[in-house]
Amino acid sequence: MEEIPYKRRGRKGKREDDLSGLPVETVEYTLPEEERVCPECGGAMHVMGHDCRRELKVIPARVVVVEHNQEVYACRDCEKNNDHVPIVKAPMPEPVIKGSLASPSAVAHIMVQKYVMCAPLYRQEQAWEREGVVLSRQTMANWVIKCAFDWLALIYIRLIACLLTHDILHADETTVQVLKEPGRKPQSKSYMWLYRTSGETKTPIVLYEYQQTRHHEHPEAFLKNWSGYLLTDGLHQYHLLDVTNVGCWAHMRRKFDEALKAMEENQRPGSRAQKGQDFCNRLFALERKWVNLSPEERYENRLEESKPLAEEFFAWAQSARGKVLPRSTLGRALAYACEQRQFLMNVYLDGRLEISNNRAERSIKPFVMGRKNWLFCNTQGGATASSIVYSIIETAKAVCS
């Protein structure tokens, strides 16, 4: 059979679409009149067209000092004739932090660099120095903490209230090291918990919450008086909450992926690990087919096609569990499937529910990436401030995406 090479063509006009929101600066290149002479006959030449080349020009950011001069007024009449002289000042915006050089743009820049671009404060300190500004990492940390608590915390509290009005939430958690926690060693593991809305809502909200431990009391307190569906990764602490836990089939599939990777390549085809992975893949293929359906239509289709397949999977997993070593990678995958069955099957309770908790994992990933660079928080205040800023930034990104 002849193989026909195929080359994917880029969509026409894509570059123009990508640049459509940028200002355009045009540079004209012309010949002076005396050079517009035909090299063949010596006649005058006219402009017949243009060749255009486009390139990106980067204008580096500038740091300037803004002086706020506020006029103060007094009455000359009262100065001469009265004991009391009224003083009136022209209105002027309140400073972000009294007695400091902090401005809204400077603090926003520092926050974006750290929490979006993953640039630790010591690197930002070096960048400021290259601009001729001595701004220590301690000063920047103080600015971020102060502004987070004084200004952004109001938005954060409002986001929590709005989040808890939704009856479907995703949750996840990851570690964070906080050096100065009362009564704890600097090496102790603390946690950043994440809660976010589902994909069904048009107003997504992403919330981070710093806590010292992984105890169930933390999500229990956060979700106090809340009831609904909570999509999680199977962590036992979530199962202690008075909510409807919905398990993550993506975590289930990863267990069989790990079992496959632990096997020799020639042993994989037809193996139990391959069969378990195939069950999961078939379920995800159905979900992709129904992605554009309404929740009601998805619910009906799941009951008709997906749920019988899931029940067949669990029947097979229960049977296969007794035929493999419990401590093997495959044994652990099968045990996980059987133990999580109740929560994984809850996806069939509502067509709005997602089959995986990948949405929460994607939302917590920016924090994980940032942590690889800045490594730790110095104080509890810094960790809490980080949770506030991350929440507002990631919510804004989710709304705009």
Strand residues in 229-285 grouped as ranges (E): 229-231, 244-246
Mean pLDDT score, 190-206 = 96
Angle between helices 307-321 and 272-289 (to 10 degrees): 170
Structural contact between residues 362 and 164, judged by C-beta atoms closer than 8 angstroms: no
**Cross-strand bridge partners of residue 72:** 89
**For residues 213 and 211, what is the distance between their CA atoms, to the nearest angstrom?**
6
Structural contact between residues 274 and 260, judged by C-beta atoms closer than 8 angstroms: yes
**Amino acid in position 200:** E
**Cross-strand bridge partners of residue 127:** none
At 11 the pLDDT is: 57
At 14 the pLDDT is: 64
Whether the predicted pLDDT of 52 surpasses 80? yes
Structural contact between residues 195 and 171, judged by C-beta atoms closer than 8 angstroms: yes
Angle at 398 between CA 280 and CA 396, to 5 degrees: 160
**For residues 86 and 79, what is the distance between their CA atoms, to the nearest angstrom?**
9
Whether the predicted pLDDT of 2 surpasses 60? no
Strands 206-211 vs 189-197: parallel, antiparallel or unpaired: antiparallel
User: 84 vs 70, 77, 89, 90, CA distance in Å?
Assistant: 22, 11, 16, 20
Select from 280, 226, 240 the least CA-distant residue to 258. 280
At 7 the pLDDT is: 53
Whether the predicted pLDDT of 308 surpasses 70? yes
pTM score, two decimals?
0.88
How is residue 99 written in tokens? Answer: 């007695």
* Residue 167: alpha-carbon gap to chain centroid: 21
Residue pLDDT, tens place only, 77-125: 988 888 888 999 999 999 999 999 999 999 999 999 999 999 999 999 9
Residue pLDDT, tens place only, 235-265: 999 999 999 999 999 999 999 999 999 999 8
At 216, which helix (H) or strand (E)?
none
How is residue 114 written in tokens? Answer: 């750290």
- For residue 353, give the DSSP letter: -
At 197, which helix (H) or strand (E)?
strand 189-197
Of the chain, the percentage scoring pLDDT greater than 70 comes to: 96
Q: Please, which residues have CB within 8 angstroms of residue 310's CB and are 6 or more apart in sequence?
A: 283, 344, 345, 348
At 1 the pLDDT is: 45
Residue pLDDT, tens place only, 4-31: 555 555 555 666 667 888 899 999 999 9
- Average pLDDT, rounded, for the chain: 94
**For residues 308 and 296, what is the distance between their CA atoms, to the nearest angstrom?**
18
At 217, which helix (H) or strand (E)?
helix 217-222
At 375 the pLDDT is: 95
Q: Please, which residues have CB within 8 angstroms of residue 343's CB and are 6 or more apart in sequence?
A: 232, 234, 239, 245, 246, 247
**Cross-strand bridge partners of residue 231:** 170, 246
First to last CA, the chain: 45
Exposure letters 314-338 (e unless 16+ CB within 10 A, then b): bebbeebbeebeeeebbbbbbbbbe
387: three-class secondary structure by DSSP = helix
The sign of the torsion formed by the CA atoms of 301, 302, 307, 309 equals positive
Exposure letters 149-179 (e unless 16+ CB within 10 A, then b): eeebeeebeebeeebbebebbbbbbeebbbb
Mean pLDDT score, 65-73 = 94
* Residue 95: alpha-carbon gap to chain centroid: 30
At 296 the pLDDT is: 97
